[in-house]
Structure 1
Amino acid sequence: MEHVLRQCLIALRLAERVGLDDGSRAVVYYAALLVNVGCHSDAHEQARWFGDDIALRAARYEHPLGSMRATVAGMRLLGSGNPPLHRFRVGLEFALSGRQAVDDMIRHHAEMARGLAEQLALPDAVLDAVGSTYEQWDGRGWPGRLRGDDVPIAARLAQLAEFVEVAHRVGGVEAARTFARERAGTQFDPELAAVFAEEADLLLADLDDAATWDAVIAAEPMLVGALSPDAFDDALLAIADFVDLKSPFTLGHARAVSGLAAAAGERLGLDAGEVRALRRAGLAHDLGRLGISNAIWDKPGPLGAGERERVRMLPYLTERMLRQSPALAPLGRIAVAHRERLDGSGHPHGLAGPAIPRLARVLGAADAYQAMCEPRPHRPAHGAGEAATQLRAEVRAGRLDREAVEAVLGAAGHRVARRREGPAGLTVREVEVLRLAARGLSTRVIAERLVIAPKTAANHIEHIYTKIGVSTRAQASLFAMRHGLLPEEPPASDGLPADRAGV
């Protein structure tokens, strides 16, 4: 918790020590906040290789990046949490193609982070810094095009701050100082590492005592004013799409829930402020998903007791992320209660009856309906009719609010069908392939689903990526969400029982 906020403060303090002006420190500010924002965009693939994607990312601080020790540590995690035979198969697959795949992941993390910074309309200098945050002083970083002083100083500062923050948290000031010295001249700029080592006591002072959120907001070197309401909505939408990249099974979920909840609010006669709050809360309601491993989200079988408890943490984590901002805290108060149920059986607080806010009831119904209409690793998507039946069964069981459910179902029944022709010149067939590829399906499975040859499916994917100008599944997924291709309009057919409705 608060790792990124603390690393931002360290980077700013170090930038001031080396004499950067306000404009340059503003670039450092945003680069430090966004340095690792793309790391979850291929969490699905990370979990497929290594089990717990969050544990994998934690391990990156233990050994020099790209070193043999880091490689060996990663090999030990291959297939974690699975039977020996499965781990053997994963290890064999990794030996054939996995190492290059992992290198590509790291390179694309910076590209994805740069893309989000661009969508948030941050300056070009920030885009360049964020896009270079995995480069290293010795030129052995990712993508490996820059070395030494060619790496933007904001990127060098952000990376140093990121790693010494972890070292300080784990081992204190001396551990952080030693860490900086050990990697000086390889991963880190030797002059910046020397300044840090010399002044570590001052640079790390009071980090444990400071109100980190307030300190980071106050430290912005060139605060230019508040976002307009429309710009605020655009920023929330960009972040919601980015969070939904966490799993191919949740692509487009937040924006779909947001639209459905807002439409339901209008049907209920809520005022404009409440409808806007519902729309925004729908975009923010699943931010806590980032704090739970894809080894759970993408698990094809039933969840164990401990895994179910971690899933129940989602609304709590969302609220923790939002509560410190005056602008976001009201959304957190709605989002934290959207998994509560009228009979007290929900989570995270077991609220019942009138203790659940009205807007949270509407959001909860919208989230449950939309989740039923989307595929999950343990079941296919339900048809619209089956989802409505299940939602009304929840009302009869005393768990969901009847008024909220009927408003959501009314809104769902009046939605305009999505266009069948694709953007960027995509054919109808290419749109079908893109949707399946974004969900993480292999070329072979896509071919089986569409009754085409695997080579034809591969050619389709190559043509699609060329047309839309991307090179990874995560980038293709963002394109599909932003152009209204995901989630796909559910067919009106029955599905299997939803044993994780609303998840």
Structure 2
Amino acid sequence: MARETVAGGVRLAELLGVMSLGVDLGMGQPMEHVLRQCLIALRLAERAGLEEPERLVVFYTSLLAWVGCHVDAYEQAKWFGDDRALKADFRRVDFSGPTAQRMFIVRHLGTGKSAFERVGVGVDFVRGGGIQAARDMISNHWRAADDLAERLGLDAAVRRSVGQTFERWDGAGVPTGAKGADVLTTSQLVSLADVVEVFHRAGGIDAAVGVARRRSGTQFAPQLVDLFCREARQLFADLATPTSWDAVLAAEPGSGIRLSDAELVAALEAVADFVDLKSPFTVGHSRAVADLAAAAARHHGLSEAEAHTVRRAGLVHDLGRLGVPNTIWDKPGALTEVETERVRMHPYLSERMLAFSGALAPLGAIAVQHHERLDGSGYPRGLAGDALDPAGRILAAADTYRAWLEPRPHRPAGTVEQVATRLRAEVRGGRLDGGAVDAVLRAAGHRVSVRTQWPAGLTAREVQVLQLVARGLSNRQIADELVISRKTVGNHVEHIYTKIGVSNRALASLFASRHALMNAVTADSI
């Protein structure tokens, strides 16, 4: 890789490894699926004779390839039920033949609903553009992964390899339908390793070899399948150990990329933006919480170093959201007891992921507290009183403030006045720390600014429309919200997509998140 390294700092591989754990959960896989896939791909690359630069491409492609698979989880849940179950089943199907993709879609439409409801979902799917949305999904995934790779400063070789991960040997893949030797070997290795890891975990070496042979010449390159089958026993050696974390970090080709302090912050911001794309109701949430918490920490008397740490914890506090399906996050009605328990686990999952990295674990210790309450009524551990540290109390107050200002599927957004009143009520009820709430409210009073120039030549009104599109509102709902006609909304959406170069909500959300537009205040809205 051409990029320079620095002596200190967090390894980029650690950060991507942590994020891969969230990707695992978002794909309906157990933690460390991607890590094991990475080891298999690297071992196979070495046996295939790839030189160190190519093996390094395999390494980063493995950790990045699936990172965009949650960006349209909202649409996946809308049509197919549990988005995590849908993606888990994806690896069990060889999409060869003219009807394979269509049958996969039909089989999953309306999953979890009654037969009558599934028919209704099917009709809505056809009428509501679901067919095109389904076709867009894989394209959205690799584009999102490419966007993250670019933001992390990874070079063109990695980005090209990530871009071809969903191509197939038989030419039936996406985005370009590349075929045979036109598909990069680095991409082919990652694609093969991804599938055989799943089958090996479920059925051992025989199952992994069996699926590779069945898909030889369709999804996978025959010569790589032959090599894999010959070396399978050695490729899977030691993968049954309790954790693959140390093995993956040790296997990184070369000296490894370490992030400077500024690069780490930029990388954490990119991760935060990607996590928030899990639901249209949370786009921009983590960055807004992080900024507010850092400002509040300064008002609260914490040191500048502590304020920086709080901000970083805020950027990653919702990593665990990836482990909860969108059928829960985007549910408009009351949650069941089981659904509530799954929600209550997401701070723990954030902490668990970050704990894999010694350098990032301190952020997890703060992040896990963002739903705890002073009286012990919070979650995931029901901590109370002195068990909550000042940074955790500030993060909890900042997260609550921002969440109540944002719309959720079961309620509208609150006004600044309403949210301030509710936060003070939480203090009186003994749930939030008074000093932390005062600091958050003081910080919030100095954050609002008016921007006069918007990216991609967007107008203030177009920014407003983009925010609502990213939240998942239909044209009719946007028209009602802004008190304009549906035709006008349609024109705005068309102009927005043209200006920012996208064609659907998921990619529009990615643009809005990357350019920090979700919490921007336009002159029209003041």
1:225–1:62 CA distance, 2 compared to 1 (3 A): closer
SS for the counterpart of 2:188 is helix
Higher deviation after alignment, 112-121 or 90-99: 90-99
1:12-31 alignment, distance < 5 Å: 12-31=42-61
Which residue of structure 1 aligns with residue 95 of structure 2?
Answer: 65
Does 2:115 align with 1:76? no
Q: Cα gap change, 1:191/1:75 in structure 2, threshold over 3 Å: closer, same or farther?
A: same
Structure 1 residue 83, shift from structure 2 partner: 5.1
Output the CA distance in 2 between the equivalents of 1:38 and 1:273: 32
Give yes or no for contact 2:294–2:310 (8 Å, CA) kept in 1.
yes
Is the Cα contact below 8 Å between 2:456 and 2:499 reproduced in 1?
yes
Classify the secondary structure of the residue corresponding to 1:230: helix
CA spacing shift, 1:456–1:294, aligned 2, 3 Å: same
Match among 217, 240, 245 for residue 213 of structure 1:
245
Cα 1:314–1:163 change in 2 (3 A) is same
2:215 is equivalent to residue 180 of structure 1 = no
Contact 2:281–2:407 (8 Å) recurs in 1: yes
In structure 2, the partner of 1:499 is none
Superposition deviation, residue 490 in structure 1: 11
Cα shift at 1:421: 4.8
Which of the numbers 276, 280, 284 marks the counterpart of 2:316?
A: 284
Q: C-alpha deviations, 1:258-296, integer Å up to 9, x for none? A: 000000000112112211110100000000000100000
TM-score scaled to structure 1, two decimals? 0.94
CA positional deviation for 1:420: 5.5
Number of matched pairs: 492
Work out which of the residue numbers 268, 271, 275 in structure 1 matches 2:303.
271
1:69-102 Cα shifts (integer Å, max 9, x gaps): 5543432332233455543221112244423321
Pairwise CA distance, 1:61:
1.7
User: CA–CA distance in 2 between the matches of 1:253 and 1:66?
Assistant: 40
Instruction: Choose the corresponding residue for 2:480, options 448, 456, 480.
Output: 448
1:78–1:418 Cα change, 3 Å:
farther
Q: Is the 8 A contact 1:300 1:377 kept in 2?
A: yes
In structure 1, C-alpha distance between the alignment counterparts of 2:457 and 2:316, rounded to whole Å? 32
Query: Cα distance, 1:234 vs. partner?
Result: 0.3
Query: Which whole-Å CA distance do the structure 2 matches of 1:474 and 1:420 have between them?
Result: 26
The Cα shift of 1:164 comes to 0.4
Aligned residues: percent identity? 58
User: How much does 1:168 deviate?
Assistant: 0.5
Q: Contact (CA 8 Å) 2:370, 2:395: kept in 1 or not?
A: yes
Native 8 Å contact 1:254 1:282 kept in 2: yes
1:38-117 equivalence runs, <5 A: 38-65=68-95, 68=99, 71-82=102-113, 84-96=115-127, 97-117=129-149
Distance in 1 (CA, whole Å) between partners of 2:76 and 2:310 is 33
Residue 457 of structure 1 deviates from its aligned partner by 1.8
Cα offsets for 1:375-420 (capped at 9, x unmatched): 0001110001111111111111111111111111110111132425
User: Does the aligned pair in 1 maintain the 2:74–2:278 contact within 8 Å?
Assistant: yes
* Residue of structure 2 in register with 1:145 after alignment: 177
1:361 aligns with 2:393: yes
Match of 1:412 in 2: 444
Query: Is 1:295 the counterpart of 2:327 in the alignment?
Result: yes
Deviation at 1:225, TM superposition (A): 4.2
Structure 1 SS opposite 2:457:
coil
Matched, 1:371 2:395: no
In structure 2, give the amino acid aligned to 1:334: I
1:381 alignment partner AA:
A
| Aligned-partner SS, 2:254 | coil
SS at match of 1:172: helix
Q: Deviations over 1:93-152 (max 9, x none)?
A: 224442332111112211111111111100100000001110000000112431111111
CA distance, structure 1, for counterparts of residue 52 and residue 471 of structure 2 = 43
Q: Distance in 2 between matches of 1:468 and 1:212?
A: 40
Within 2, Cα distance between the matches of 1:81 and 1:363? 36
Q: Structure 1: which amino acid aligns with 2:489?
A: A
CA distance in 1, matches of 2:521, 2:480: 21
Question: 2:496 is matched with which residue?
Answer: 464
Per the TM alignment, residue 488 of structure 1 is displaced from its structure 2 partner at its CA by: 4.5
Amino acid paired to 1:75: V
**Structure 1 range deviating more: 264-273 or 368-377:** 264-273
State the AA in 1 paired with 2:120. Answer: R
| Preserved CA contact (<8 Å) 2:451 2:522 | no
CA distance in 2, matches of 1:321, 1:252: 21
Distance in 1 (alpha carbons) for counterparts of 2:113 and 2:418: 33
2:164 alignment partner in structure 1: 132
> Aligned pair in 2 of structure 1 residues 430, 157: CA closer, same or farther (>3 Å)?
same
User: 1:183-221, CA deviations, whole angstroms, 9 ceiling, x for partnerless residues?
Assistant: 011000111111111111000111011631111111110
Conserved 8 A contact 1:60-1:70: no
Measure, in 2, the Cα distance between the counterparts of 1:19 and 1:266. Answer: 54
* Higher RCO (C-alpha 8 Å, min separation 6): 2
Aligned equivalents of 2:176, 2:515: Cα separation in 1: 32
Measure the CA separation in 1 of the matches of 2:452 and 2:479: 20
2:115, 2:207 → 1: CA distance?
Answer: 37
Gap change, CA 1:131 and 1:391, over 3 Å in 2? same
Cα distance, 1:28 vs. partner?
0.2
Distance 1:262 1:80 in 2: 42
RMSD: 1.8
Instruction: Name the structure 2 match of 1:123.
Output: 155
C-alpha change, 1:480 and 1:442, in structure 2 (3 Å) is same
Q: Which amino acid aligns with 1:486?
A: M
Q: For the residues of structure 1 that align with 2:282 and 2:388, how far apart are their CA atoms? A: 25
Structure 1 residues 48 and 66: CA distance shift in structure 2, 3 A: farther
Deviations 1:421-442 (A, max 9, x none): 5322112221121111111112
Secondary structure at the counterpart of residue 199 of structure 1: helix
Q: Does residue 34 of the first structure (1) align with residue 64 of the second (2)?
A: yes
Alignment match, 1:500: none
- Hey, what does 2:9 align to over in structure 1? none
Report the alpha carbon displacement of residue 446 of structure 1 after superposing the two structures with TM: 2.0
| Of 99-108 and 343-352, the range deviating more from structure 2 | 99-108
The worse-fitting range, judged by mean Cα deviation, of 82-91 and 290-299 is 82-91
Q: How far apart, in 2, do the equivalents of 1:405 and 1:82 lie?
A: 42
Q: Does 1:9 align with 2:35?
A: no
Aligned-partner SS, 2:190: helix
d(CA) in 2 for partners of 1:450 and 1:168?
53
Determine the C-alpha separation between the residues in 2 that align with 1:210 and 1:11.
19
